[in-house]
Structure 1
């Protein structure tokens, strides 16, 4: 995905306010061997790009003054109640250096699973994005999690999914975190609890 930005000479609250009033969004590019660079972007184009999942989880081609750099989106500051971007941060990436990045999980096949189709269960998503380590060229836009075979009581763990080639998961605190779990319908859960609480009838 290509992004076009322009060099920004002035900084400070007043300069940023004037940019926003002119339909621009202030930003910065940092990282790598080059110095941090102040930039400005067309606000409407940026706003629409931010609605796309790939803009948040892909390596972007950022063009400034005719030069293109590979970057990833690192931070966005939004206005508390207006549909307005206050500031955006991009980080340069190197083709030969691994980066740490959060990638969204796409859960597929839930409605076709025995748990949902036959047992009317629900699937609770415990983790919706996964931090990974990989080279920029290997960075996936998303990672698929197949739920088509889950049954009541199942949990889907990190070790059960197939990561793309060259991608390693970074699990903080847990070696094999749960990504999703299958939950029985409320009525069924209550019936099971009631059944467990009943004492066997005396002969």
Structure 2
């Protein structure tokens, strides 16, 4: 997978809440940490404006990015992020170093296509019910997908799409499936609308009452 995101990062030595507050308030930078691989964890900071712009793109959350740290390029992925409880802007970020020889585990979004034109909706009058919007994958960094596509075109009424039904890119695995059939989680389904289902139930009850009389 090609790298499309680059963040300029700087090493920092001051630790603690006070230092982090000063960094955010006076320099408009976000404190963070870079860890993983054979190197020691390293405290860093990134520019708030640059990070906020990157966060506007969904792919940033599941993409191998380049940290330009003190003149060197480091390949990493966004592992965790804390936000201000009221304002919502990032207050701390964790980055995980990656290399081409070691698999990583990441959450990847699901993109559902052909929902309105699916058999269960267009021809059978059903409604889409999403159970999850992202899935955990395991793969080498270069195989990390930005998203996994779920094609709903052939899904019929009362049919459930499970994790095992997903078409995965080459080299990508779902760790949850390795835990057994009990972990084959439902992803999306098409069910009859609740209003119609309720009306059908009432009609059935009415017929039963009439037959009893």
Q: If the length of structure 1 is used for normalisation, what is the TM-score?
A: 0.93
1:10: which partner in 2? Answer: 14
Which ranges in structure 2 are unaligned for 5 or more consecutive residues? Answer: none
Unaligned runs of 5+ in 1: none
1:46 to 33, 47, 51: 51
Per-residue CA distance 1:91-120 (angstroms, 9 max, x = gap) = 111210111111111111101112222333
> What are the superposed Cα offsets for residues 140-193 of structure 1, whole Å, 9 maximum, x if unpaired?
010000101222111111222211000111226734221001121122111222
Residue matched to 1:97:
102
Cα distance between partner residues in 1 of 2:202 and 2:157: 18
Instruction: Say how many residue pairs are matched.
Output: 203
Corresponding residue for residue 152 of structure 2? 147
Counterpart Cα distance in 2 of 1:38 and 1:161: 38
> Residue 34 of structure 2 contacts residue 44 of structure 2 at CA under 8 Å; is this kept in 1?
yes
CA distance in 1, matches of 2:99, 2:140: 8
Q: Distance in 2 between matches of 1:177 and 1:78?
A: 29
1-structure distance, mates of 2:6, 2:150: 28
1:1-203 aligned at under 5 Å gives the runs 1-21=5-25, 22-171=27-176, 174-197=182-205, 198-199=207-208, 201=211
Q: CA deviation at 1:41?
A: 0.9
Stretch of structure 1 that moved more, 117-126 or 77-86? 117-126
Q: Give me the whole-angstrom Cα distance separating, in 1, the residues matched to 2:165 and 2:116.
A: 19
* 8 Å Cα contact 1:104-1:142 kept in structure 2: yes
Structure 1 runs of 4+ aligned residues shifted over 6 Å read none
Q: Deviations 1:7-41 (Å, cap 9, x if unpaired)?
A: 11211111111111121111110111111111111
Change (3 A) 1:96 1:181: same
1:84 & 1:150 partners in 2: Cα distance? 39
Query: Take 2:66 and 2:86, find their aligned partners in 1: how far apart are those partners?
Result: 30
Question: How far apart in 1 are the matches of 2:89 and 2:118?
Answer: 41
Larger mean Cα displacement after TM superposition, 49-58 or 164-173:
164-173
Alignment partner of 1:107: what SS? strand
- Structure showing the higher helix proportion among its residues: 2
